[in-house]
């Protein structure tokens, strides 16, 4: 079982929490904690052996924690996911393969695409695919159709696997810190469209990718994972795109693993990640 705690910091928190575990005769398999001194914020992730009532354990923890502490008790359930795509296949293909072999750490329930190009690969994996075109309809209607499908599946997370449409603040607000995006650059550099073209024209020596939670501000949500690779003058714009797709796939896979294992804490616009 996983326990995640986020609260105002105070002296003796670790001792108080572990005392509860000892009193309940629970074995702590692993424990990670961090204090953000600037924000006076405490973060902890515990993995314990426990087969009892999570609600009772949560009540005991609340008795020793500051008021308004955020406590999550999660007996390692398989997260439920809906994936959204446009035309690029690389991130979706990786997710579908991991889902098929049971190594994703979650269960993909459906894929939504605003083009039909990726429907075929979904059929190969017997994955429900919903085509919702954004063309010739207003954004509000488009997002209403998407939301209806998402809510049908009640997912824990929505993964934007190269979904190339900007979501409205209204839609994002319906799924706060539950939408995960892979961005094709090392944020905050080269935000928006055509980042590899921007990078090529700038003559950069490093390119990267960023996985982050989606917020109402474009490409400015809390960052989960980032990676970079070296490039040089011999790389064409096409070479950068090819290299970029590989790193995008790797970064998204890494970020999803961290989120699905409850290793990511969000506070304001930053994350604490217990890798």
- Active-site amino acid positions: 219
- Identify the bridge partners of residue 82 per DSSP, sorted by sequence position: 110, 158
Q: Are 269 and 222 in contact (CB under 8 A)?
A: yes
Do 123 and 129 touch, CB atoms closer than 8 A?
A: yes
What's the CA gap between 221 and 182, in Å, rounded?
11
Residue matched to tokens 């998407």:
146
Instruction: Give the SS3 label for residue 264.
Output: strand
Name the nearest CA neighbour of 179 among 148, 213, 216. 213
The DSSP annotation for 139-185 comes to: HHHHHHHHHHHHHHH--SEEEESS--SPPPHHHHHHSTT-EEEEESS
DSSP lists the bridge partners of residue 35 as: 42
């Amino acid at each position: 079982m996983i326990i995640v705690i986020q609260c105002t910091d105070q002296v003796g928190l670790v001792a108080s929490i572990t005392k509860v575990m000892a009193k309940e005769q629970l074995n702590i398999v692993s424990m990670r904690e961090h204090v953000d001194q600037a924000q006076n914020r405490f973060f902890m992730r515990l993995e314990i052996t426990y087969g009892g009532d999570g609600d009772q354990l949560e009540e005991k923890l609340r008795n020793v924690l500051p008021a308004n502490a955020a406590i999550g008790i999660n007996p390692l359930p398989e997260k439920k996911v809906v994936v959204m795509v446009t035309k690029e296949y690389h991130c979706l293909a990786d997710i579908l393969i991991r889902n098929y072999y049971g190594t994703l750490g979650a269960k993909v329930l459906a894929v939504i695409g605003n083009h039909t190009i990726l429907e075929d690969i979904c059929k190969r994996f017997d994955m429900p695919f919903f085509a919702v075109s954004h063309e010739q309809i207003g954004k509000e209607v488009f997002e209403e159709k998407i939301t209806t499908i998402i809510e049908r599946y009640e997912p824990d997370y929505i993964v934007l696997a190269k979904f190339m449409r900007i979501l409205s603040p209204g839609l994002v607000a319906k799924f706060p810190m539950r939408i995960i995006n892979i961005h094709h650059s090392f944020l905050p550099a080269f935000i928006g469209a055509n980042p590899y073209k921007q990078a090529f024209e700038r003559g950069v020596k490093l390119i990267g990718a960023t996985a982050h939670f989606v917020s109402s501000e474009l490409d400015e949500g809390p960052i989960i994972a980032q990676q970079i690779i070296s490039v040089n003058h011999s790389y064409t714009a096409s070479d950068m795109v090819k290299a970029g797709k590989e790193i995008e796939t790797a970064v998204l896979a890494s970020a999803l693993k961290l989120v699905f294992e409850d290793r990511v804490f969000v506070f304001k616009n930053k994350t604490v990640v217990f890798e």
